[in-house]
Every structure is written in structure tokens, then in C-alpha cells.
Amino acid sequence: MFQQFFQDSPLLVWPLVGLAVFLLSFIAVLLHVAFGLRDRRKRDHIASLPLDDENGGASR
């Protein structure tokens, strides 16, 4: 099946490469969300940015 698909042009492999890149990135984002955003205080701070923008309270 693959050979039949690619016989028209080897360029058609690029959509599959693109799909692989998407999957990798998606997994990376999920890893970040699962492990990188475990700090609830930090999450709450970023999520609250729109709410404290008129009083200038920025944090590090």
C-alpha cells in the first residue's frame, strides 16, 4: 500500500513527516502540561494576569 502511495512522487512522504512532527509536539505539550505546570501557585498567577493589570502588580 505504501509503495503504491509513493510511486507518484517521493514528495508525498512529507505529509507523513509533518504528521510525525505534530504528534511529537503534541506529546511534548502534554508532558509540559502534566509535569511542567504542577506548581499551582504559578499557574494561578499566570491565569490571573488579566485581573491584576490595572494595579500594576507584576511578579517574577
Interface with another protein (CB under 8 A): 2-3, 5-6, 8-18, 20-22, 24-26, 28-33, 35-38, 43-51, 53-60
**Least distance in Å: CB of 48 to another protein?**
5
Residue 13 corresponds to which amino acid? V
Quote the Cα angle for 19-11-8, to 5°. 115
**Least distance in Å: CB of 38 to another protein?**
7
**Least distance in Å: CB of 1 to another protein?**
11
The contacts of residue 37 (CB under 8 Å, 6+ apart) are: 43
